[in-house]
């Protein structure tokens, strides 16, 4: 296998680990969203139906709530109604760390398998 092909396989492993990292981090972002949404629901006298979270490329959180009349209300980061708490920020940071860790594992795996040796030698 040529050195270029080895390097491309190494990059493929890193890209795949980035995808897997996003799958690992998704539940952590959902916990962060549930944290902020449940606090908002308690403060406003609403009932939390569902909460979803994600990295900051999409709304960091989306809340589906039910008011006293039974009407469903959706609140997300773009509404600027909810003040983020340190707990929410901590969970979000944990999601980014989980994502980054899996990417680093993929990078290290590529190094151990020898896919990046030529690229780092300057060949």
pLDDT digits (tens, 9 = 90+) for 50-62: 999 887 656 678 8
In a domain, 123, yes or no: no
Residues 18, 51: Cα–Cα separation, whole Å: 24
Q: Supply the range of the domain harboring residue 39.
A: 3-118
73: buried, middle or exposed (CB in 10 Å: 19+, 13-18, 0-12)? middle
In a domain, 18, yes or no: yes
pTM, to two decimals: 0.78
User: What per-residue confidence (pLDDT) applies to 57?
Assistant: 56
**Close Cβ partners of 32 (under 8 Å, ≥ 6 residues apart):** 53, 60, 61, 88, 91, 92, 94, 95
Selection from 67, 33, 73 nearest residue 47 by Cα: 67
Reported as a pLDDT band with limits 50, 70 and 90, residue 119 is low
pLDDT at 75 over 60: yes
In a domain, 32, yes or no: yes
User: For residue range 6-65, what is the model confidence (pLDDT) as tens digits?
Assistant: 889 999 999 999 999 999 999 998 898 898 899 999 999 999 999 998 876 566 788 999
Q: How many domains does the chain fold into?
A: 1
């Amino acid at each position: 296998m040529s050195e270029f092909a080895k390097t491309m396989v190494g990059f493929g492993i890193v890209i795949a680990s980035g995808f897997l990292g996003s799958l690992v981090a998704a539940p952590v972002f959902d916990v962060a969203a549930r944290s902020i949404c449940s606090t908002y629901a308690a403060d406003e006298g609403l009932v939390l139906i569902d909460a979803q979270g994600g990295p900051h490329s999409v709304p960091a959180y989306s809340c589906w709530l039910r008011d006293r009349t039974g009407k469903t209300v959706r609140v997300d980061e773009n509404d600027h109604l909810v003040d983020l708490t340190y707990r929410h920020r901590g969970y979000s940071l944990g999601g980014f760390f989980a994502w980054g860790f899996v990417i680093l594992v993929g990078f290290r795996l590529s190094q151990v398998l020898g896919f990046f040796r030529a690229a780092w030698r300057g060949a």
